């Protein structure tokens, strides 16, 4: 489920796109979260605690988790499914963080990928997972980060250990396999060349190859409209047609929505599979001061509410959504 890519254009035109593939309505809404909010990791007595240093615009899952978003400094975070994920068993000493807050923790605390990577390598904490709302399976996710410099990082829990892949060249990721094996796929397909043949199925490995090829094949331009159109065309190319689900492969599901984060101009674009319009939020138009209200844009069942163009002034003051807490015991 899901594909993520980063476009590196000239003059700092950096765009991050992702698709959200899920087998049923994931209950997504758009939220603007100001600085100064105090949070805990919601994962038992050893939970992390922090105060948000940066405001952010996020897309939720079931309004209990941040699954995608960008903060006011241009850091973007994307959660994607990784069936191979295996999280550590919490102990009595290591600080804990609910998986519902993993992306939000990064958006709240860091301006760049490098800052986030340095933090997770020096300050150990354990992500704690729990069941997906309404399902009898554990959430198995990996996290991608990108920033206004074009830097990228992929964070995964493999065999109970946090693995961090950090490099500007790590522009593309999908769900499976683990990122080290996705890098091997990239090396293999570089020898074949995308103009000769590209794999066309909706399997994660095939989507990875297509996304990687097209991200670097489209024109590298500074013009915002052209670059955004090109990036949307690539993320649509690797989307799964609406109505398609593979029961024995839950990581292959219909694309529900797509986002594009413009790191340079601070614009967060959203496109639902059920509406013909793209709309966007301009972060410079929002009040992220500590005294500002939490605001939301309610997207309706299956994100079917119709919006178009700049909706920055349509986000309404709202009570904050509660992050899903899990037990670390």
- Catalytic site positions: 2
Pairwise CA distance, residues 319 & 238, whole Å: 35
Tell me which residue of 270, 197, 275, 255 sits closest to 2, measured CA to CA: 255
Cβ proximity of 1 and 252 under 8 Å: yes
Which residue carries 């490099």 as its tokens? 167
Tell me which residue of 244, 268, 263 sits closest to 254, measured CA to CA: 244
**How many Cβ atoms from other residues are within 10 Å of residue 301's Cβ?**
9
Q: How far is CA 254 from CA 68, 161, 233, in A?
A: 17, 30, 17
Pairwise CA distance, residues 62 & 132, whole Å: 10
User: What's the half-sphere exposure (Cβ side, CA atoms, 13 Å) at 282?
Assistant: 8
Could you tell me how far CA 122 lies from the centroid of its own chain?
23
233 three-state secondary structure: helix
Cβ proximity of 46 and 315 under 8 Å: no
Cβ proximity of 157 and 87 under 8 Å: yes
Tell me which residue of 128, 139, 155 sits closest to 22, measured CA to CA: 139
Tell me which residue of 48, 113, 67, 92 sits closest to 257, measured CA to CA: 67
């Amino acid at each position: 489920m899901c594909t993520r890519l980063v476009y590196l254009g000239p003059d700092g035109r950096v765009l991050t796109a992702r698709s959200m593939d899920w087998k049923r309505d994931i209950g997504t809404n758009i939220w603007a979260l100001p600085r100064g909010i105090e949070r805990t990791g919601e994962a038992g007595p050893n939970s992390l605690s922090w105060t948000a240093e940066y405001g952010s615009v996020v897309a939720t899952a079931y309004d209990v988790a941040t699954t995608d978003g960008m903060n006011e400094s241009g850091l973007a975070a994307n959660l994607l499914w990784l069936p191979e994920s295996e999280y550590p068993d919490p102990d009595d000493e290591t600080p804990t963080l609910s998986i519902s807050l993993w992306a939000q923790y990064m958006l709240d605390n860091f301006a760049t990928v490098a800052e986030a990577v340095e933090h997770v390598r020096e300050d150990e904490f354990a992500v704690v997972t729990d069941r997906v709302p309404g399902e009898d399976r554990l959430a198995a996710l990996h996290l991608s980060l990108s920033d206004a410099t074009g830097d990228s990082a992929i964070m995964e829990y493999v065999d109970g250990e946090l693995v961090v892949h950090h490099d500007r060249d790590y522009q593309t990721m999908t769900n499976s396999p683990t990122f080290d094996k996705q890098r091997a796929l990239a090396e293999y397909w570089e020898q074949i060349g995308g103009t000769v043949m590209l794999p066309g199925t909706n399997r994660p490995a095939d989507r990875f190859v297509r996304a990687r090829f097209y991200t670097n094949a489209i024109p590298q331009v500074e013009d915002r409209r052209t670059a955004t159109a090109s990036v949307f065309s690539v993320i649509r190319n690797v989307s799964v047609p609406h109505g398609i689900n593979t029961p024995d492969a839950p990581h292959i599901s219909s694309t529900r929505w797509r986002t594009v984060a413009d790191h340079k101009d601070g614009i967060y674009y959203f496109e639902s599979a059920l509406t013909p319009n793209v709309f966007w939020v301009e972060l410079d138009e929002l009040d992220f001061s500590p005294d500002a209200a939490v605001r939301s844009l309610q997207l309706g069942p299956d994100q079917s509410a119709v919006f178009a163009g700049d909706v920055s002034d349509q986000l309404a003051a709202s009570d904050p959504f509660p992050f899903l807490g899990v037990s670390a015991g």
